[in-house]
Amino acid sequence: MSVLTRKFSFLASVVALVFFVVFSSFGKASGSADGGEAFNASEVIIHHVLDDHTWHFWDGHYGTLYLPVIVHSSERGLEIFSSKNFYDEHHNVVEYNGYSLDHGHIYLNGNPVLDISITKNVAMLLINATLLIVVFLSAAKTSKRNSGKAPSGIQSFLEPIIVFVRDEVVKPNIGHHYEKYLPYLLTLFFFILFGNLLGLLPGAGNLTGNIAVTLTLAVFTFILTNISGNKAYWGHIFWTPGVPLPLRLVILPVEIVGVFTKPISLTIRLFVAITAGHIVLLSLISLAFIFQSVAVGFVSSLIVLFINLIELLVAGIQAYVFTLFTSLYIGMAIADHEHH
């Protein structure tokens, strides 16, 4: 057995033991053997996957981060307060100053309000963006300092990835004018990659598994693609050359629908892949709480460790796929078509 294999086996054993101890102890605490409340797996999974006005890390008063609530209504205008006001000492949902919280939606005297709060996913978005800025500013500073020298530090880690995205994803699909779109595509790739990886951390929010986030990214791609579209691109959509007139009438609505299905496919693909991975992991973890068994806790922790390694791979693949299809769509929009 190689040194690397031994180190990996030791790390896997430690992580599995930690999962096992936490699962078994929590399972006893939440069990219903003495008539207590049974563990609700679906509630835990949905709470993690969906957005929330609080950020829950562990049980107890100090295990919850209460995020700021920012709402606007025609009756009171703009108001800001802590989401802690919606919960009593037993963490039951209560009304506050006429405001009520129901399934993530805030109402004032029964009427919906404009909610622009800093929710868990918004907080994750800010963390992700801040991390991107800090990392790449540091890499840029290192690159400037080491001009003409071999890359070092964080630059040595990021540069091969940047070169790969540029030479293997962006350049082959867009062509000669790829430099114009490279900053957007690199930002897109690393935003999704960092969001996917951060989402695998314990207690983290499901940022890239939020359909609003994936839809926003797809809309950016949709706008950029269609703004960049040349005469040949729009000509193929509205008046496909080389096709008989009766057939053009059939192709036209198909082409128009195709313009909108591209961002929809980008939205659904990333959303489903990330959310499904989180649901699988949480379902396996919940088995230990449901069965309250030492053996089940140990086996499920081993499976969770294996699935987590797969999720690391999926995090990179989904960032790659989203960037690849975006590059492909842009390349199709700006390509020059010749007909004989």
| Residue that wins the pLDDT comparison between 11 and 71 | 71
Q: What is the pLDDT of residue 122?
A: 94
Task: Supply the mean pLDDT for the chain.
Answer: 84
Please state the rounded mean pLDDT for residues 27-36.
45
Please state the rounded mean pLDDT for residues 107-134.
93
Domain-embedded: residue 21: no
Whole-number Å distance between alpha carbons of 8 and 288:
24
| Cα torsion 289, 291, 294, 299: sign | negative
Please state the rounded mean pLDDT for residues 27-53.
67
Q: What is the pLDDT of residue 285?
A: 84
Domain boundary at 96, 118, 140, which?
Answer: 118
280/140 same-domain check: yes
205/285 same-domain check: yes
220/314 same-domain check: yes
The number of distinct structural domains making up the chain is: 2
| Residue that wins the pLDDT comparison between 178 and 26 | 178
Q: What is the pLDDT of residue 1?
A: 44
251/297 same-domain check: yes
State which H helix or E strand residue 11 sits in: helix 3-29
90/151 same-domain check: no
209/88 same-domain check: no
Could you list the residue range(s) of the whole structural domain that residue 113 is in?
Answer: 63-118
pLDDT tens-digit map of 289-321 = 888 877 887 888 888 888 888 999 999 999 999
Grade residue 14 by pLDDT with cuts at 50, 70 and 90. Answer: low
Q: What is the pLDDT of residue 35?
A: 46
Residue 21 has pLDDT above 60, yes or no: no
Domain-embedded: residue 32: no
Domain-embedded: residue 67: yes
What are the C-alpha distances in Å from 319 to residues 96, 163, 199, 218, 315? 41, 15, 13, 13, 6
Over its C-alpha atoms, the chain yields an Rg (Å, rounded) of 25
Domain-embedded: residue 20: no
322/184 same-domain check: yes
Q: What is the pLDDT of residue 150?
A: 75
Q: What is the pLDDT of residue 34?
A: 47
Please state the rounded mean pLDDT for residues 177-183.
93
Domain-embedded: residue 211: yes
pLDDT tens-digit map of 201-220 = 888 888 999 999 999 999 99
Q: What is the pLDDT of residue 145?
A: 83
Domain boundary at 75, 103, 118, which?
Answer: 118
Domain-embedded: residue 58: no
Whole-number Å distance between alpha carbons of 298 and 281:
14
Domain-embedded: residue 204: yes
| Residue that wins the pLDDT comparison between 307 and 31 | 307
What are the C-alpha distances in Å from 110 to residues 52, 94, 101, 192? 20, 14, 10, 37
Residue 182 has pLDDT above 90, yes or no: yes
220/132 same-domain check: yes
Residue 18 has pLDDT above 60, yes or no: no
196/292 same-domain check: yes
Share of the chain above pLDDT 70, in %: 87
Domain-embedded: residue 80: yes
215/297 same-domain check: yes
Residue 267 has pLDDT above 80, yes or no: yes
Whole-number Å distance between alpha carbons of 63 and 82:
16
244/212 same-domain check: yes
Grade residue 340 by pLDDT with cuts at 50, 70 and 90. Answer: very low
Q: Per-residue DSSP letters for 106-127?
A: EEETTEE-EE----HHHHHHHH
163/83 same-domain check: no
Domain boundary at 101, 118, 135, which?
Answer: 118
